[in-house]
Structure 1
């Protein structure tokens, strides 16, 4: 069990990290978020599957791809799956694990990649689709999941 002092220190570190992410997101961030544990139950299992080395990705991109092409690829993936406008992005911070963002069709991925390190996880506003993009050994992988299954 964590002592009160350790808990306070962890919460303060998380708050500082969260403030930095929100500042870096700029106009993409809406200030909203899902509370810890507020994502649907299927999301955790889908993330675990996506991060498993035994799961085949839905799409691949070479890891030596220039950053602007990576950004266009990420933006295209989300647009293909109807994920523009309101969506949630995993922050990797316990206090606010899913930050609400408002993303246009293009021109936003570089800002998001600067704000949040990979894996980049996107949950659709209606909480029914998940796209996970992660850097693997020689490529970027994309995994797409839906509420009704993988």
Structure 2
């Protein structure tokens, strides 16, 4: 259990980190956000599922790929899975976990440079999630979709 002092220190550290993220994303931000209580219940479940060893990524990209190739790959994944335009980007800060952005096609590089991986994008309709993380030799992409009944499903690769 976190003491009141520990909570204040954590919140202060998170606020400083959040200010850096807001500064880095700048004009991509709309001013909207999802607080801890507004994140759809299925999202943390889907994120946790990506960390299970049995969960296969939808796509892989070599981790020695140049940054512009990583950015293009992430943009292609977002477009392919309909997570475009106004969307939410995960901050990894509990005080403000998701910031709303108007993400242009060339905006993934700014997200990647500003926020630590894993990079997570939630559709503006909050029914689609793209998570990109770096593993030992690859970047891994996972896509999850809300099923409209309170559940969700991971999209699987055609293998």
Q: If the TM-score is normalised by the length of the shorter chain, which range does it land in?
A: over 0.9
d(CA) in 2 for partners of 1:107 and 1:2?
40
The alpha-carbon deviation at position 23 of structure 1 amounts to 0.2
TM-score (norm 1): 0.95
The alpha-carbon deviation at position 2 of structure 1 amounts to 2.5
Partner of 1:9: 9
Partner of 2:52: 52
Q: Tell whether 2:88 aligns with 1:88.
A: yes
The alpha-carbon deviation at position 49 of structure 1 amounts to 1.2
d(CA) in 2 for partners of 1:15 and 1:59?
33
Please state whether the residue corresponding to 1:52 is helix, strand or coil.
coil
The total of aligned residue pairs comes to: 149
d(CA) in 2 for partners of 1:12 and 1:29?
22
Partner of 2:97: 97
Stretch of structure 1 that moved more, 86-95 or 25-34: 25-34
Please state whether the residue corresponding to 1:86 is helix, strand or coil.
strand
Partner of 1:74: 74
Q: Tell whether 2:91 aligns with 1:110.
A: no
Q: Which runs of 5+ in 2 are unaligned?
A: 148-152, 155-159
CA RMSD of aligned residues (A): 1.0
d(CA) in 1 for partners of 2:43 and 2:102?
20
Partner of 1:131: 130
The alpha-carbon deviation at position 7 of structure 1 amounts to 1.7
The alpha-carbon deviation at position 45 of structure 1 amounts to 1.3
The alpha-carbon deviation at position 65 of structure 1 amounts to 0.5
